[in-house]
Structure 1
């Protein structure tokens, strides 16, 4: 098993770059398009939350901009048996309050991460394989699993480490108030104003060395035009989710730089599987009468809705070339990408025939729900899909909500059809298989974000078999088989994969990330 170690040369380069900074370059202002909902690093497995808390908290293992795992609080790791991983922790790491980081903090984190009350989508899937965490000494840990689990280091890259001495007994509100927001990360909390901004100050004792920015103002700006205007006016230094309509003119502006990368996020549609008896919500016949059964439970209906969609039109007209049509959740070239699963061609006539075969020759009415401030062009995408569905006889009304309200309603299964996004930060298929398609089970820690309550025992068994397979080639074949099974069932309706864009003012660069996370640590002054 390969052992990973850090390179001191990178740290030296960072310190030299910081020393060369002019005084005026010490502050950074970032404008983000996605709304974080908490400073609790285990409250919600959503990219805006993770991006925010990455400034405060580190992980044992982290992923770089290309989603490759790297050492962080763990200096190295190795499998010492088929069911035991040993991690060596970095010495002399301090919490923001000056206390020492030790293995006991990791034990506490692993126990808390999957058990945060009222979480709309938690982190249990990342630690589901761990049956016991053993402290060998203050800087050595062993994770025991019931079966071989080769993905454990990759999965732990999504678990931010918190301290026992601060976190024990602390609630999500204690984190939001700043009382418990004590990490080992590159920044300390200054203030947190939900729905507005978070202020960070540089951690002078960070184990990697100081970051170049003394203060970071991390601002939520939902309006696309306002983010662009703030950048052009000099009020913002970095913006993410660059509006597709602005990319062309920003590229021509010599005071602005654009960085981009193929992302890992899929934008897709999900239907409700939670209601098997009684009338479904937000679905009716054309006269507004409730239907006796949920049409979304019929795979023919789901397939009809899928082939009614012109994904090329969505990518080119709605997304203006900033997305790529797809039939699965990983981009080509990724581990476990299945080349046999392609984006469905639009076939409105075939969709009408499928609806008739399913017992809905006249179609029905449905409400499609979508956030309006979370993903690029999310509400516009929902409106375009609604028009395509209406053309096949499924008269579709769109209801959009701000992300905070939308996420809460989704967690309560209040939507029958909804637009969603999922970024496979592990760079392989099991992340979505476990968390979105895995049967919801708190004890087994599967389906943590399965808010539609899809369940397929055959798929669950295949996923479990794949994630316990040590041989990479064999594991990839099993995961590709699972991708094909999701496609056959139309367990979801994939639309497109996003290309991630950031824009910065002159004098600052930003390293684009496949996981779309926007962090001050990716911004650097130009010497």
Structure 2
């Protein structure tokens, strides 16, 4: 599977900031001899239960404590993890051979029973705000052939199962049986096989972990790692420059020019899988944040009309959004996944900025004077996310859609958005396959199958659903990708969502550290090294 291009750069220091940087950083201990790493996180880790809430920040951190059967390398390629190998026994049966001698943090050995328990557990968790069941529901039968061999059966041919399982962490059956979130957060149930063990978790503030010296994989360089939640850009950057942390993710774009000239700082950048797009309410006749120009509720929901959705897309100047609001740290999007991701359709072109065409479409749909609309988005999750929402509101105002903006912290926003409380809401999504993305984002919601778990607008299109099923059911990779591209084209032609842009991630490190970055934007302490 191809991946987005990666590029890393180190920059010499700023003359204007040199004196300050030397004062702040000059006395640091060389990192080749350091035993502790301090990382500034841009988003909160909300739980240490690896099956409760499938958000990027949670999953990224969980990789320190837990392993999955199959993993993904920095470029998005599948690699062995707890499973040394896997194969199809027949078109509906997969066999996974486990590594022998892998130990959980409590010293007990990993066995097939722990794997079966972990694959069953997501479906047993109630009230998950972001469930993992879309990854496990294809499995209809599980079998421990022996202590180190697992066979998984799907209802039909399903070529995507190994990639699905890269998102499901394996926990100790003994430690996690009947465990609620508080037992994971306290550490009692947070017993994995990962490169680090939990030392302490203060939700919303900090996490401390220690190296697992019995880890089956490459030995991490760091004895201890301290994560500090620094959701606001300015404090996160200040913490790096003050030496309070050694690495930060999600570097504020406005500070990149200054950091490029700082000889005590190294920047790492990587194009990523994350695409930002707009969900539109397509299931209610009266949408809560759609009004006439006077602010009164409309008799019908204009967002259910494909002409209106297309008008909104045409009204957005993506080139200006990327160049100005995002300061070049993104690419305009035509797909729901980034270029190079499995199933990306290169034939789809970025929607041309056409405000006059947008006005014409609105008139054809019966809204020549436009209507009122409130845009919702987070203000602490994506690159310049609040500014992105404000900029798009300005574009819509220019074509007659009188637009208001409401942004919220992620901890508030996600819950309300997942409950479909908004009419037009911003979401970022990353996946290593387009059929996976479509299943979660625009697949007809179905709690029994796990489809549409992030389909905030409750879009439904039988043609898209059928093509996604055909893609996921194809064991042949070429055939699967062809169906995936057809599904992408069908969904985008119907403006199931409005794609905006693909992000470019930036990390800043104190001189003496090296991090290659990842296509998934994750920050892994075990992949940070002392520079050679």
TM-score (norm 1): 0.93
Q: 1:157-172, aligned counterparts within 5 Å?
A: 157-172=166-181
Indicate the residue corresponding to 2:288 in structure 1: 281
Indicate the residue corresponding to 2:161 in structure 1: 152
Q: Name the Cα RMSD after superposition.
A: 1.4
SS at match of 1:113: helix
| CA–CA distance in structure 2, aligned partners of residues 108 and 303 of structure 1 | 46
Q: Which of residues 448, 451, 454 in structure 2 aligns to 1:446?
A: 451
Q: Bigger shift: 225-234 or 255-264?
A: 225-234
| CA–CA distance in structure 1, aligned partners of residues 87 and 201 of structure 2 | 38
Indicate the residue corresponding to 2:327 in structure 1: 320
| CA–CA distance in structure 1, aligned partners of residues 413 and 530 of structure 2 | 37
Q: CA deviation at 1:23?
A: 8.2
Q: Bigger shift: 314-323 or 285-294?
A: 285-294
CA change 1:209–1:311 in 2 (3 A) is: closer
Indicate the residue corresponding to 1:510 in structure 2: 515
Q: Bigger shift: 324-333 or 41-50?
A: 324-333
Structure 1: gaps (5+ residues): 1-20
Indicate the residue corresponding to 2:117 in structure 1: 108
Q: 1:126-525, aligned counterparts within 5 Å?
A: 126-276=135-285, 279-424=286-431, 426=432, 428-525=433-530
Q: CA deviation at 1:89?
A: 0.4
Superposed CA deviations along residues 434-462 of structure 1, whole A, max 9, x for unmatched, are 11111111111211222322111221111
SS at match of 1:418: strand
Indicate the residue corresponding to 1:94 in structure 2: 103
| CA–CA distance in structure 1, aligned partners of residues 297 and 124 of structure 2 | 37
**CA contact 1:120–1:449 (8 Å) conserved in 2:** no
| CA–CA distance in structure 1, aligned partners of residues 305 and 95 of structure 2 | 46
| CA–CA distance in structure 2, aligned partners of residues 405 and 363 of structure 1 | 30
Indicate the residue corresponding to 1:46 in structure 2: 55
TM-score (norm 2): 0.92
Q: CA deviation at 1:176?
A: 2.1
**CA contact 1:35–1:373 (8 Å) conserved in 2:** no
**CA contact 1:115–1:124 (8 Å) conserved in 2:** no
| CA–CA distance in structure 1, aligned partners of residues 415 and 356 of structure 2 | 37
SS at match of 2:64: coil
| CA–CA distance in structure 2, aligned partners of residues 35 and 394 of structure 1 | 34
**CA contact 1:35–1:374 (8 Å) conserved in 2:** no
Report how many residues are paired.
503
Q: CA deviation at 1:526?
A: 2.1
Q: CA deviation at 1:125?
A: 1.6
| CA–CA distance in structure 2, aligned partners of residues 508 and 186 of structure 1 | 19
Q: CA deviation at 1:91?
A: 0.9
SS at match of 2:170: coil
Indicate the residue corresponding to 2:19 in structure 1: none
| CA–CA distance in structure 2, aligned partners of residues 348 and 305 of structure 1 | 9
Q: CA deviation at 1:209?
A: 4.9
SS at match of 2:253: coil
Q: Which of residues 131, 134, 137 in structure 2 aligns to 1:125?
A: 134
CA change 1:23–1:393 in 2 (3 A) is: closer
CA change 1:84–1:301 in 2 (3 A) is: same
| CA–CA distance in structure 2, aligned partners of residues 313 and 325 of structure 1 | 9
| CA–CA distance in structure 1, aligned partners of residues 33 and 480 of structure 2 | 51
SS at match of 1:245: helix
SS at match of 1:55: helix
| CA–CA distance in structure 2, aligned partners of residues 184 and 86 of structure 1 | 21
**CA contact 1:122–1:449 (8 Å) conserved in 2:** no
